Amino acid sequence: MKALRIKLYQNMVNYKLPSSFQLKETYPLPPYSTVSGMIHRVCGFTEYHPLKISIVGDYYSKVNDLATRYEFAAATYETARHAYKLHSSEDNRDYGLARGVSTTELLTDVELMIHILPEKEEDLEILYQSFKNPSEYISLGRREDLARIEEVKLVNIKEKELEDTYTLNYSAYIPVELFESYSSEGIEFATVYKLNRYYEKVQIKKGLEQRRWKQVSVFYGAKGREVLNDNVYEFDEDGNIVFFA
């Protein structure tokens, strides 16, 4: 089967954990939902196109970026609590504005290799042309996290049974379902994430819809970890291991 392989480079980036606020922590690799959103944006898709994604990559280091944060709240101004006073002429009332420090965790010198396998075969050519000739500079993560395209290539994917231990050349998201358990049958000593994959809109009541996320459990296999043998994995034509989810 054929898939699209893209290689990206990002200078500094944050793939924000949904549960982090004061310190905006980052995933070590972009989650599936973030990559899927980028793909749909680049291709101009206005509705969901089912596709499988494999994400591997590496980064050089982590740094913290500090910025000033302003918080507006519908609270009466208090001298000891607020940094600034905002007067409203509508209700003739003074409101408070608080100022603080925002900390964002950033990955530096990120290299990514992403394989994309669309459910519809006709989408493959759209994907290829869209990444080969993007209409704008693409971003992955926050809007300001620009990504430089290093490679766009159509590759053949084949299954192969490992006869020996395989060492990961890149860090990777590896779906837990590839292994029967968390034991030495697959990859040892790995962090487990439950990542958003895609969402469906569910009607809560008339005129109100809610996003319901479908999630996938994955191992985060760091570069240099060993994937044990006696298992069948997928590889592209250049020998890169692929973990579709």
For the chain of 245 residues, list the mean pLDDT of each consecutive stretch of 10: 97 94 92 97 95 97 90 74 75 80 95 97 96 95 96 96 86 86 54 91 86 92 81 92 95
Model confidence, pTM? 0.87
Per DSSP (E only), the strands in the chain are: 2-13, 23-24, 51-58, 61-76, 84-88, 93-118, 148-161, 166-167, 171-175, 191-205, 208-221, 226-227, 232-236, 241-242
User: Could you give the CA distance from residue 83 to residue 68 in angstroms, rounded to a whole number?
Assistant: 12
Report which DSSP code applies to 122: T
Same domain, 127 and 181: yes
Same domain, 47 and 97: no
Residue 132: enclosing H or E segment and its boundaries? helix 123-132
User: Which pLDDT does position 174 carry in this prediction?
Assistant: 92
Q: Are 53 and 115 in contact (CB under 8 A)?
A: yes
Same domain, 56 and 98: no
Of 153, 146, 163, nearest in space to 115 by CA: 153
User: Which pLDDT does position 181 carry in this prediction?
Assistant: 45
User: Could you give the CA distance from residue 138 to residue 125 in angstroms, rounded to a whole number?
Assistant: 18
Same domain, 82 and 175: no
Same domain, 85 and 202: no
Same domain, 121 and 192: yes
Find the domain containing 150 and state its range: 2-65+103-242
Q: Are 162 and 233 in contact (CB under 8 A)?
A: yes
Same domain, 97 and 135: no
Same domain, 92 and 172: no
What's 6-17 look like in SS3?
EEEEEEEECCEC
Sequence-distant (6+) residues with CB within 8 A of 68 are 99, 100, 101, 102
What CATH number is attached to the domain comprising 186?
Answer: 3.30.70
Domain boundary pick from 102, 124, 148 = 102
Same domain, 118 and 71: no
User: Which pLDDT does position 183 carry in this prediction?
Assistant: 46
Number of structural domains found in the chain? 2
User: Which pLDDT does position 97 carry in this prediction?
Assistant: 77
Same domain, 125 and 236: yes
For residue 244, give the amino acid letter. F
C-alpha torsion 197→142→9→113, nearest 10: 0
Same domain, 144 and 61: yes
Same domain, 222 and 208: yes
User: Could you give the CA distance from residue 159 to residue 135 in angstroms, rounded to a whole number?
Assistant: 35
User: Which pLDDT does position 191 carry in this prediction?
Assistant: 87
